[in-house]
Amino acid sequence: MMMSNSMRIIVTAMPYVVTIFLLLGYISPSFESASRTHAELKTQTEEFDRLAQKIKEKEVLLEQKRLLDKDIQRMRASVPPSPEMDILLIDIEKLSEEAGTDLISIEPSADAKKEKGDNLMDSIIAEVGGRMTPTGKPPAVPPPKTPAPPPSAVKPAVIPEANPLGIQHLERRVFVSGSYSQLVDFLKRLEAYQRIVGIRNLIIAMPENSDHETVKTLASEKGRNLDLTQPVMTFLMSVYYLP
């Protein structure tokens, strides 16, 4: 029995078709597995990049923290735990000599003197039990008591602003004499000083002289009292310390 051409083609192609179907049956799961593996690899790569970025950010933060700690240590070195006025006076005198100026004096400021006097009087009164009266005069009669205001009229006490850093300071008035260029050089050297000091209320004036009119200032008065001929500079210097 003779097969037609179409049957002969079908019979010939059947093994190839079966082989293709078998290959597709094996390749399809492998392809899906490869696709899943590729997706997982992509996810892992993105996670790795994200972690690498976080590590870089952490290294930057650690470097910033190291620099900040270094600045804090330098700040603590610049702000001693006590005023150390003796060392400060020696250093300022040395700066004055290097600038060619004449360091006249370093005195407590007027506010510091007033505060010290008030505290001294308070301590004396406290020692005698608050009963100190001038000699030969009768004790002062206390004024009559006034009724207390109603609670609604009492204003809450104002709490002073706290100092979170705990930095304290003392104020001293400095007097220096010299030429204008020498005074500027002294200020530059004081600005570059290893300790942190503040400068305010700076005045430069010629000493008071009867030959010409001069504006009366602390600097001009100091120059007149010491018979100086060069300009006199004075300023309030804040000495900081961290107890």
- Residue range 224-234, pLDDT digits in tens: 889 888 999 99
Half-sphere exposure for 195 (CA within 13 Å, toward CB): 24
Average pLDDT over residues 91-103: 94
Give the residue, 7 or 210, on which the prediction is more confident.
7
Q: What is the pLDDT of residue 124?
A: 37
Give per-residue pLDDT as tens, 144-189. 665 655 555 555 555 555 555 678 888 999 999 999 999 999 999 9
Asked if residue 102 has pLDDT above 90, the reply is yes
Q: How far apart are alpha carbons 101 and 177 in whole angstroms?
A: 6
Where b means 16+ CB within 10 Å and e means fewer, 16-36 reads eeeeeeeeeeeeeeeeeeeee
Average pLDDT over residues 50-73: 87
Q: Is 234 exposed, middle or buried (0-12, 13-18, 19+ CB in 10 A)?
A: buried
Lowest mean pLDDT segment, chosen from 111-120, 176-185, 196-205: 111-120
- Maximum CA pair distance of the chain? 160
Average pLDDT over residues 65-74: 79
Which CATH number does 85-126+165-241 carry?
Answer: 3.30.70.60
Q: What is the pLDDT of residue 179?
A: 93
Strands, E assignment, 70-177: 102-108, 168-177
CB 207 within 8 A of CB 229: yes
Per cent of the chain over pLDDT 90 is: 26
Average pLDDT over residues 105-126: 57
Q: Which residue has the tokens 């192609």?
A: 13
Q: How far apart are alpha carbons 8 and 183 in whole angstroms?
A: 118
Q: Which residue has the tokens 């993105």?
A: 46
Contacts of 205 by beta carbon, 8 Å cutoff, 6+ apart:
214, 215, 217, 219, 220, 223, 231, 232
Count of other CB atoms within 10 angstroms of residue 91: 16
Average pLDDT over residues 51-80: 82
Q: What is the pLDDT of residue 83?
A: 81
Q: What is the CA radius of gyration of the chain?
A: 44
Average pLDDT taken over every residue of the chain: 76
Q: What is the pLDDT of residue 116?
A: 47
Half-sphere exposure for 174 (CA within 13 Å, toward CB): 29
Asked if residue 213 has pLDDT above 90, the reply is no
